[in-house]
Structure 1
Amino acid sequence: MSSSTAPPHGRPPLHVVQLLGGGSVGTGAHVRSLSAGLVARGVRVTVGAAPPAERKYRFTAAGARFVPVPVRMTPAALGMFAALCADADLVHAHGMRAGLLGALALRGRGTPLVVTWHSRSTVPGLRARGRSLTESCVARAASVVLATTSDLVDRARSRGARDARLAPVALPSAPPADEGTAPCKLRAELGAVGRPLLVAEARLDRSQTAGVLLAAARGWRRLAPQPLLAVVGEGPERTALQRRIDRERLPVRLLGRGNDPAALLADADVALLIARWAGRAPLAEEALRRGVPLVATAVGGVPEVVGDAAVLVPYGDPQALGAAVGALLSDPDRRAALAAAGRARARSWPTEDTTVAQVLSVYDELAAAP
């Protein structure tokens, strides 16, 4: 079957099972986009994922069949997945959990397994050792590993992947802001009228990320006008972080996970991607598409994704972050230049169509192999 046409007469369509093991919003959106593109090209797609995934991503509306699968390493889950893949020509797992489930369920079958590595873990200690073992198992079991950034390609190869390829994914862009929305309505709700609005997304846990943001915000109190930092995220340390914000009178608002970062970006002056590791982070991609100046940590695949269209700072350095944001807020020409560079950079990224075509070429290659 070619990468752009329906299967030849008399030949059944390729049946591909997409396995989603949880993962980030970006991973789920990619699987939905990929499923729609494959169906449009004549591929029969079955998506196996936890039940809430269908409500969130509407795979069936994209033309795929959806089967709820408990994505856990239990005999029952393995049996369900093995049955799901009984007539599959190929299985495509997204993420480590899904990759491990696929590797175990398909053992001895000869069914090709493609695994996309969307991200990598930064957990320390014993959990990091366990993660390394999982990565090695998945890398060696996969017929092909598709990695979204070059550093993940290198990591997959170091874990024993026999075939690891760079395959950047195109995430669907967020819809434009509602034109009927009153100007500055969101700013008024946040208390950011007449002052710069900074937007970040972070898990509120014991990692260094939230602490770096709050430490940088302490320095922003000296700026006039004083910027407001809106942090989208949840986590077990939310209460402790809020106490610190109140105690130090930091210009920070903690917003729940239910808030849409893309909606906040519509009114943002600067976006912040502060992470120990990141690849094709949806917040960063959306900021560049919308022309919002971005300050990001120079980690993982971030430099590769943003190029010279963002200000890069070291991870774990609140002084560098604070200085970078302060310099941008005082330099409207630099912000305008970054906005233009961001939009241009976004236009250079692969589209959803080219992403589907690249993945389908891998499927064709594996399906044709003896």
Structure 2
Amino acid sequence: MAEPPLQGCRVTEVLATSTGGVGTHVRSLVPPLVAAGADVQVCGPGATDELFGFAGRGARFTPVEISAGLAPAADARAVQALRQALAGTDVVHAHGLRAGLVAAAARRLGARSARLVLTLHNALPDGGGLRRQLLERAERATVRAADVVLAASEDLAANARRLGARDVRLAPVSAPPLPRATRGRAEVREEFGLVDDRALVVAVGRLHPQKGYDVLLDAVARWLADQRVRPAPLVVVAGDGPLHDELAGRIRAERLPVSLLGRRDDVADLLGAADLCVLPSRWEARSLTAQEALRAGVPLVASRTGGLPELLGDAAELVPVGDPEALAAAVVRVLCDSALAAALVEEGFRQAAGWPDEEATAAQLVEIYRELLDAPARPRP
């Protein structure tokens, strides 16, 4: 019997604070890496492990408190903690710029023989000033320090090449299959007090500026005045985050038919009851929500941004970023045109059938790790 490809290899996956896609992705990688023979360690904030349970998937977890934002004193402590955790590691794989910044520094200080892989999941946030300049410098230094940069979408890959990364590859992130729904459509609609044929619009994602929920509320206010959708659809948003109070205040003040549900573990149930899924993000690479909606057979209206056009093709109604009028018009159009909705669902199934699954995603990583281990070490920047 052939020896597993990563037998005897020590792999450390590193992530910063995560409540969504990055943590979900790292959790999905652990079992196939273990099956390939690797000794897998995950390093990240303790709260992230509590949420995703990496140890329960076969990894050792070592707490390293890497925050979501720049914090020099905390970052210095995180670098020292990760440097110690990397002792004996063959491959360190950082997920996201924040984790990559800490991992690159930790490797320079004491794990120089380890190969560094960086996966870029997100673009830098919009903005200017000193903070933006610091982020851009950190991004450039981090992508140049990595042996291989994996990009979740082509725009991220192009940016990494522009910044001088030595080896950039497209590595699409696959959404893990959702658990099977435990409730039917009628039961979910009853939870929200929906009667007759009132439409249910579902959004899933963290309450964060990137996700564009302010634009969604603007769109809801517009379609309230549209006589073609009566009664007005109910919008439910599954997710928590720093904008909760601000969004809740607007919903109350403007009496919008929107309900903030908080973090939910029944997304499959919500999608099964949805008439439409909406993704108003300012930027996405390969949105897990978009993948889940198409696989679930739910029509999708999303922003034309980042990696979404290449991910979705013709399987969704795409609208300009930050345009509530276009978003409202697209939602109304799909809800009022059953033939269009059915065509989107059918095309969605076709599009989703061509996506790599978790097994293919993990197999690509195993191949990259093995390639790095077999290759002569390159000079470190």
Which TM-score applies when normalising by structure 1? Answer: 0.91
Matched residue, 1:45: 40
Structure 1 unmatched ranges of 5 or more = none
For 1:310-329, list aligned pairs within 5 A.
310-329=316-335
Q: Are residues 1:169 and 2:167 paired?
A: no
Matched residue, 1:33: 28
Separation of aligned partners in 1, 2:208 and 2:366 = 39
Separation of aligned partners in 1, 2:81 and 2:243 = 36
The one-letter code of the counterpart of 1:6 is P
Match 1:188 to one of 187, 190, 194:
190
CA 1:266–1:208 in structure 2 vs 1: closer, same or farther (change >3 Å)?
closer
Separation of aligned partners in 1, 2:55 and 2:207 = 33
Match 2:121 to one of 95, 118, 123:
118
Separation of aligned partners in 2, 1:296 and 1:337 = 16
Question: What secondary structure is seen at the aligned counterpart in 2 of 1:184?
Answer: helix
Q: Are residues 1:104 and 2:87 paired?
A: no
CA 1:76–1:227 in structure 2 vs 1: closer, same or farther (change >3 Å)?
closer
The one-letter code of the counterpart of 1:69 is V
CA 1:38–1:234 in structure 2 vs 1: closer, same or farther (change >3 Å)?
closer
For 1:91-240, list aligned pairs within 5 A.
91-107=92-108, 109-126=112-129, 127-178=131-182, 181=183, 183-194=185-196, 195-201=198-204, 204=207, 209-221=212-224, 222=226, 223-240=229-246
Separation of aligned partners in 1, 2:309 and 2:100 = 27
Q: CA RMSD in A?
A: 2.3
Runs ≥4 residues deviating over 4 A: 202-208
CA 1:339–1:121 in structure 2 vs 1: closer, same or farther (change >3 Å)?
same
Q: Are residues 1:336 and 2:342 paired?
A: yes
Separation of aligned partners in 1, 2:337 and 2:221 = 21
CA 1:111–1:212 in structure 2 vs 1: closer, same or farther (change >3 Å)?
same
The one-letter code of the counterpart of 2:57 is A
Q: Is 90-99 or 242-251 further displaced after alignment?
A: 242-251
Question: What secondary structure is seen at the aligned counterpart in 2 of 1:192?
Answer: coil
Shift of 1:315: 1.0
Question: What secondary structure is seen at the aligned counterpart in 2 of 1:33?
Answer: helix
Deviations 1:292-343 (A, max 9, x none): 0000000000001111110000011111111111111111111111111112
Q: Are residues 1:363 and 2:369 paired?
A: yes
Shift of 1:33: 1.4
Question: What secondary structure is seen at the aligned counterpart in 2 of 1:254?
Answer: strand
Separation of aligned partners in 2, 1:254 and 1:7 = 46
Separation of aligned partners in 2, 1:231 and 1:302 = 20
Separation of aligned partners in 1, 2:242 and 2:46 = 25
Which TM-score applies when normalising by structure 2? Answer: 0.89
Separation of aligned partners in 1, 2:207 and 2:172 = 28
Shift of 1:203: 5.0
Shift of 1:71: 1.9
CA 1:241–1:82 in structure 2 vs 1: closer, same or farther (change >3 Å)?
closer
Matched residue, 1:21: 16
Question: What secondary structure is seen at the aligned counterpart in 1 of 2:259?
Answer: strand
Matched residue, 2:63: 68
Shift of 1:86: 1.3
The one-letter code of the counterpart of 1:289 is R
Q: Is 193-202 or 336-345 further displaced after alignment?
A: 193-202
CA 1:13–1:176 in structure 2 vs 1: closer, same or farther (change >3 Å)?
same
Separation of aligned partners in 2, 1:276 and 1:230 = 19
CA 1:252–1:169 in structure 2 vs 1: closer, same or farther (change >3 Å)?
same
Q: Is 91-100 or 184-193 further displaced after alignment?
A: 184-193
Separation of aligned partners in 1, 2:56 and 2:210 = 38
Question: What secondary structure is seen at the aligned counterpart in 1 of 2:273?
Answer: coil
Contact kept, 8 Å, 1:232 with 1:259, in 2: the verdict is no
Structure 2 unmatched ranges of 5 or more = 68-73, 377-381
For 1:253-264, list aligned pairs within 5 A.
253-258=259-264, 260-264=266-270
Deviations 1:191-227 (A, max 9, x none): 3332000112355566792332122112222322321
Separation of aligned partners in 2, 1:327 and 1:186 = 24
Aligned length in residues: 363
Contact kept, 8 Å, 1:262 with 1:283, in 2: the verdict is no
Contact kept, 8 Å, 1:49 with 1:71, in 2: the verdict is yes
Q: Percent identity?
A: 44
The one-letter code of the counterpart of 2:355 is W
Q: Is 319-328 or 52-61 further displaced after alignment?
A: 52-61
Shift of 1:264: 1.6
